[in-house]
Structures are given as structure tokens and as C-alpha cells.
Amino acid sequence: MKIGKVPENVLARSILKQLHTKRSEVLLGAGIGEDCAAVKLAEDEIFVLSTDPITGTAKDIGKLAIQITLNDLASSGAEPVGVLLTILLPENAKESQLKQIMAQMEEGCATARVQIMGGHTEVTAVVNQPVVTVCGVGKVKEGKLVMTSGARPGMDLVVTKWIGIEGTSIIAKEKEEELKTRFSASFIEKAKGLDVYLSVLSEAAVAVSSGVSAMHDVTEGGIFGALWEMAEASGVGLDVDLKKIPVRQETIEICEFYGINPYRLISSGSMLMATTDGNKMVRELEKAGIHAVVIGKVTEGKDRVIRKDEEEHSFLERPKTDELYNIYA
């Protein structure tokens, strides 16, 4: 395709023609010549926004882009309503690639009942692979907004599913041939398939109904990054048992193969929560079929302790570059 905005006929047949999911709150949605979207909210509702780019992989980029932004909205207790997209394509991109990205996005939105409300699509020489940015729009009732900064001393820390599953799936897809030198085809397929767990919308809904005080979806920087960010936002300390942090065997083995730290690996699909009764929260999540574990406590002060056993411990450091990027170094 040629550099610049995609032509109107491409926009019509490869983008607009694929948008089927609609929401009654959306008064103005995607259309040729429309630069804005409009959403109607009730008097007692709060408008929630989030934006995220996908740059670490080009595989399943449409699917990932939607899911990560919907997870951000869910972590605030909000119901996702719609998304706005920016898609930047390299000069050598084909229209079939654009169509595939849009199909993945519409599928993800249809599953979550979210409308693609508009956006911008462009071919540019400044990227060498597709780059997608999603701005998510959600709503939450007044008094129900959940913030990362809501953790208080004495609360339990809960982690859902397993850390590192997003990074594990991405690596298995991007580095499949390399991994075949060590692992079986069935092992790699299992690792690739961990992307079925990337949504945190279900656990967020359970947590909100169960009185969660703070939530943070575990993304870039992994669980160590998420723990630091929740503690920093809340002005508290942490006492975390490293052995209780849930991690899949596929993640452990792939991280060992590349010499990277699974606790600093991108982990969409896992939610970090702070709540007054962690065991009760775990029971409610398990009832909904969501694996969850209490991994520690929120404490007074600013010490953020990671315990390996009763004798050995370390202090949590500020978030570093995600381990995913180290496999491309």
C-alpha cells in the first residue's frame, strides 16, 4: 500500500465493512469523514478512558491490542463500551494484513460486547512492522470506581491465574523454530495457547462484586512491576511470599531457556488485587472458575519485601525494562 492515510475504498471494504458490534450508548461511531466518537452517559455514571500500544510483537496484534485495553478498563471496575484505534502500517504491508488485524479486533470486541467507534489508519515509512494503539472507553457507577492506589496496610494481596502467560505465549509464537531445538511440538503449542487466558474481565467483575479495594492488571514489567506500582500509588509497603506467586511450568522452562526472569515478564491475563479478606476473594474467584492465590500482605511504611523463605528475602526494586525485549537483544 502507498504511504499516507489508507484510501477510502480500502477503509470501506477492509475496516468499516467488518464492524458489526453496536452499543446503544454510542451516539456517533466510525464512518468516513468522522473524526470523533460520541458516547451518552447517565448522570450517575463516570466516563473511564485508557490507551495502550502494542509494540512487542506483530503476531495476533489485533487480538492483543483489544484485550490489553479492555483489561485496563476492567481493572478500574469499569464496563468497557467502545474503542478508538490507531493502526500504523509499514510500506510493505498488504491490504490482506490490515483486513486480518481488523477481523481480530472485531472478534475481540464482539466477544466483550464492545463497539469499535472510530480511529485512524495510515501507511508510514517510520515503522517496520504494524503498530496498533487502542483507546478504550468505559463506564462505571459513581462510588464503584476501583483504583490502583486503593491498597491499605493489613489488606491481603491476591493474584489471579498465572504470571507471565502473555509473555510465554508471545515468545512461543515469535521464537517457535528456536524453541523446537529444546522443546516438543506439543509443549510449544501449549505455551502458544496460553493466550486464551488473557482477559481479566471475569475476575474484575467478581472482585468488584466482592468488595475489592485496589486492582492492577499485570502487564509490562511483570508481577514485580505491578507490585511496585500498586505500592507506590498507594504509599504502602508489601510483604510477598515469592513461592506463592502462581507461575506455569511452560513459563518457567521458556524463561530458563532464554535466561530471563518470569517475574519481570509481561503478564496480561493476571490481575493483582488488594482486599480486606483475601481468602474470601479467592473462594469467590474459584467459584467462577478462576484460579487465584493470596501471595502476601500490604504493610505500613515503604519496605517492599519479597520472601524466598523464612530466612532469605530481598527488597522489590523499581520496574525495569520488560524481559520480553531481552530475547530480541
What per-residue confidence (pLDDT) applies to 59?
A: 83
- Provide the b/e sequence for 189-211 (b: ≥16 CB within 10 Å): ebbbebbebbbbbebbebbbeee
Q: At residue 162, what is the residue type?
A: W
Q: CA distances (Å), 295 to each of 62, 227, 279, 298, in order?
A: 32, 11, 11, 10
Q: CA distances (Å), 76 to each of 12, 60, 121, 295, in order?
A: 34, 25, 28, 21
Instruction: Return the domain boundaries, the chain.
Output: 4-141, 148-328
pLDDT in tens, 264-303: 999 999 999 999 999 999 999 999 999 999 999 999 999 9
Q: How far apart are CA 40 and CA 59, in angstroms?
A: 35
What per-residue confidence (pLDDT) applies to 24?
A: 87
What per-residue confidence (pLDDT) applies to 34?
A: 64
What per-residue confidence (pLDDT) applies to 35?
A: 65
Overall fold of domain 148-328: Phosphoribosyl-aminoimidazole Synthetase; Chain A, domain 2 (3.90.650)
What per-residue confidence (pLDDT) applies to 39?
A: 82
**Spans in the chain with pLDDT lower than 50:** none
Measured from the Cβ of residue 289, the count of other Cβ atoms closer than 10 Å reads: 8
Burial level of 291, CB count in 10 A (0-12/13-18/19+)?
middle
Are domains 4-141 and 148-328 of this chain identical in fold? no
Q: How far apart are CA 80 and CA 204, in angstroms?
A: 12
What per-residue confidence (pLDDT) applies to 7?
A: 82
What per-residue confidence (pLDDT) applies to 318?
A: 87
pTM of the shown model: 0.86
Which architecture, in CATH terms, is 4-141? 2-Layer Sandwich (3.30)
- In terms of residues, how long is the chain? 329
- Provide the b/e sequence for 158-187 (b: ≥16 CB within 10 Å): bbbbbbbbbbbbbbbbbbbeebeeebeeeb
The C-alpha cell 496498533 sits at 132
